[in-house]
């Protein structure tokens, strides 16, 4: 069975500082990993994904994530946080093969303080 | 990428009424669609897998008689919340898998916010 853990409910960071939102996963076979962002009363917005290839994935709005197979992690990062990055972030995983649905982490609320 | 739409985006209804939510794949065919539910400040939980031409598969704990799913065509799945109650108030999101760049990706609808009074 697939699962995702986001160990932090809340991450606070000062504007201009680097940010990291943690994610670890469990899946049978090769993973297909995603990060989504959700603003209040809105749907999911895709940020980035990892399928195969380079472990460092670059996505939308300056975000990037590093796939670490040995640690089964896919942490989301940004070198310099903006107040507008404040939102709810979800990590999700599914097996690369087949037609299985995404399994989501519980979400991490990011608050960037000016 | 492929586009998935949902209608309505927001609905308010009285307790005891039924509400239908539509999920459409606009530019591709989807034999499978997924329905998720998100309670306030919580994660997305998979409710069921909708299969075109056959019965939906429900996750454990989801009442199939309360959440009726019909996947009547290759571009439309509907979720009907029957005899809705305030505890059914939630954000309902559908998704559909589609092959893009040799990989099977999921595309999400914008969600439907249901409020039951």
Tens digits of per-residue pLDDT, B64-105?
A: 999 999 998 999 999 999 999 999 999 999 999 887 766 678
Cα separation, B91 vs B86, in Å, equals: 13
Residue B12: pLDDT band (50, 70, 90) is: very high
Residue B102: what pLDDT?
A: 65
pLDDT band with cut points at 50, 70 and 90 for residue A75: very high
Return the C-alpha torsion angle A13, A18, A21, A26, nearest 10.
Answer: -160
- Residue A105, chain B, CB below 8 Å: the answer is yes
Give me the sign of the Cα torsion angle B71, B72, B77, B80.
Answer: negative
Reading the block at residue A5, the tokens are 């853990």
Region B26-50: mean pLDDT is 92
Measure the CA–CA gap between B109 and B63, rounded to whole angstroms: 23
Among B48, B14, B52, B46, residue whose Cα is nearest residue B32: B52
Q: Nearest by CB to A101, which of B49, B103, B105?
A: B49
Residue A113 touches partner B, C-beta closer than 8 Å: no
> Is residue A33 pLDDT above 90, yes or no?
yes
Within 8 A of A96 by CB-CB distance, chain B residues are 103
B44 contacts in A (CB within 8 Å)? 44, 90, 104
The angle at the Cα of B77, spanning A101 to B102, to the nearest 5 degrees, equals: 45
Of B50, B110, B41, B102, which is closest to residue B76 (Cα–Cα)? B50
CA distance A67 to A76: 9
What CA–CA distance (Å, rounded) separates B82 from A15?
Answer: 46
Q: What average pLDDT does range B9-14 have in this prediction? A: 96
Does the pLDDT at position B42 exceed 90? no
Which pLDDT band, with edges at 50, 70 and 90, does A99 fall under?
Answer: confident
A59 touches chain B (CB under 8 A): no
Which of A42, A99, A107 has the CB atom closest to B104's CB atom? A99
Residue A98: predicted pLDDT: 67
Angle ∠(B16,B18,B22) on CA atoms, nearest 5: 155
- List of chain A residues whose C-beta atoms are within 8 Å of the C-beta of residue B34: 101-102
Biggest alpha carbon–alpha carbon distance for chain B: 45
Looking at residue B104, its pLDDT comes to 73
Residues in chain A: 114
The predicted structure's pLDDT at residue B101: 65
How far apart CA B19 and CA B46 sit, in angstroms, is 19
Residue B111, pLDDT > 70, answer yes
- Helices assigned H by DSSP within B23-113: none
Sequence-separated (6 or more) residues with CB below 8 Å from residue B87 = B116
Q: Mean per-residue pLDDT for A72-79?
A: 97
Q: To the nearest whole number, what is the mean pLDDT of chain B?
A: 92
The pLDDT of residue B1 is 66
Interface check for A95 against chain B (CB to CB < 8 A): the answer is no
Q: How far does the CA of residue B19 sit from the closest CA of chain A (Å)? A: 20
- Specify which residues A43 forms β-bridges with: none
Mark yes or no for CB contact A101/B43 under 8 Å.
no
List chain B residues with CB under 8 Å of A32.
Answer: 103
Supply the pLDDT for residue B113.
Answer: 95
Three-state DSSP class for B9?
A: coil
A29 pLDDT exceeds 90?
Answer: no
Q: What is the CA radius of gyration of chain B?
A: 14
Cα–Cα distance, B38 to B3 (Å, whole number): 21
């Amino acid at each position: 069975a697939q699962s995702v853990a986001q160990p932090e409910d809340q991450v606070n960071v000062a504007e201009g500082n680097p940010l990291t939102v943690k994610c670890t996963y469990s899946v049978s076979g090769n993973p297909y990993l995603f990060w989504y962002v959700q603003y209040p009363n809105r749907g999911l917005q895709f940020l980035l994904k990892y399928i195969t290839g380079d472990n460092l994935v670059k996505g939308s709005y300056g975000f990037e994530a590093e796939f670490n197979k040995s640690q089964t992690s896919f942490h989301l990062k940004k070198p310099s946080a903006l107040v507008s990055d404040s939102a709810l972030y979800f990590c999700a995983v599914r097996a690369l093969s087949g037609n299985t649905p995404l399994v989501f982490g519980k979400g991490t609320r990011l608050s960037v303080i000016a | 990428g492929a586009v998935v739409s949902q209608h309505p985006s927001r609905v308010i209804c009285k307790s005891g009424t039924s509400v239908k939510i539509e999920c459409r794949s606009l530019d591709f065919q989807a034999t499978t669609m997924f329905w998720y539910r998100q309670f306030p400040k919580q994660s997305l939980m998979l409710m069921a897998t909708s299969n075109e031409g056959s019965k939906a598969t429900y996750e454990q704990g989801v009442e199939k008689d309360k959440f009726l799913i019909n996947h009547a065509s290759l571009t439309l799945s509907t979720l009907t919340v029957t005899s809705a109650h305030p505890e059914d108030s939630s954000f309902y999101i559908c998704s559909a898998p589609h092959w893009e760049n040799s990989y099977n990706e999921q595309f999400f609808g914008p969600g439907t916010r249901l409020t039951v009074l």
